A = this chain, B = another copy of it.
Amino acid sequence: MPRDGRLAHPKLAGDGRQAAALGAALRDVAMAELEAAGHAVQVSDLYAQRWKSEVDRADFPQLPQDVRLQVPAASRDAFAAGALTGDVLAEQRKLLWADALILQFPLWWFSMPAILKGWVDRVFSFGFAYGVGEHSERCWGDRYGEGTLAGRRAMVVVTIGGWQEHYGARGINGPIDDLLFPIQHGILFYPGYDVLPPFVVYRADRLDPDGFAQAADRLRERMRTLATTPPIPYRKQNHGDYLIPTMQLRPDLGRGAAGFALHRLDGKG
């Protein structure tokens, strides 16, 4: 099964200590495990690729200079015309090639680093990741469980400087599953991915060799079970749970849950 790893860690100095960097080390652990099982892996190292983070006019070379940039419309037209830039098209091809996507990043300010957000902003174009499908009484676009990437799996691998307790159900930062909801539900489930539970390493800056060995073992296990781990049971949009077009969860569903947990069949936060 092909795999697609995507990395957003600052490019490291090319010396012997590079392998000690946690992000690169975890990537290597995951790749080795996948390749040992016979999978093909493509890596997009955004820093090494010098990925362009900002959406701007340069992303739409066919947009006439006298037309004001409106990103959704420009994205729609460029995707339809096959006129997106080469770096974006290459990433879209990788996503269509891969059965699974792994987004690996350090949690910065409770979200992904800018360079990875810029990968999402540019690669997830109109017609590819949003603006897909018809709008009718039965369907409000192919999204949230349907769409271009349906039938594929995605998973977040995230390294966090803080303590696990600070990200617990009552921890001051907020529960990690809720902090990741805009990414896991809003970015990955939206265009169709089945989203696996996240792989999280806490106190990543202070991991000692034993701690790394344990994290590596956990990650290897997650790679071995990538095709079989049950995904987070997010509710699909067009399967009757939501009213169209207001997209409210039906009043008889989700009793006892609130917030993001409403959108999981198991009601968990």
A residues neighboring B (CB under 8 Å): 10-13, 15, 17-18, 20-21, 47, 51, 53-57, 65-72, 106, 108-115, 117-118, 120-121, 124, 144, 161, 163, 165-166, 168-175, 178-179, 181-182, 185-187, 190, 205, 237, 242, 245-249, 254, 258-263, 269
Contacts and interface: CB of A to CB of B under 8 A. Distances in A.
A131 to B, nearest CB: 10
B109 A124 contact: yes
User: What number of copies of this chain does the assembly contain?
Assistant: 2
B115 A54 contact: yes
B170 A181 contact: no
Contacts of A182: 109-111, 174, 179, 182
Given A10-B57, A13-B66, A258 B269 contact: yes
Contacts of A113: 54-55, 117, 121
Contacts of A68: 12-13, 15, 17-18, 20-21
Nearest to A8: B54
Nearest to A172: B247
13 contacts: A10-B55, A10-B71, A17-B68, A55-B108, A70-B205, A109-B121, A110-B186, A111-B186, A114-B120, A117-B117, A166-B246, A169-B258, A174-B181
A23 to B, nearest CB: 11
A117 B120 contact: no
Given A10-B57, A174-B182, 11 more contacts: A71-B106, A110-B187, A113-B117, A163-B246, A169-B258, A171-B249, A172-B247, A174-B259, A258-B258, A258-B259, A258-B261
B53 A114 contact: yes
Contacts of A258: 169, 258-259, 261, 269
Contacts of A71: 10, 106
A57 B50 CA distance: 13
Contacts of A121: 108-109, 113-114
Contact of A259 (B108, B118, B178, B237): B178
A51 B54 CA distance: 9
Nearest to A168: B248
A259 B190 CA distance: 22
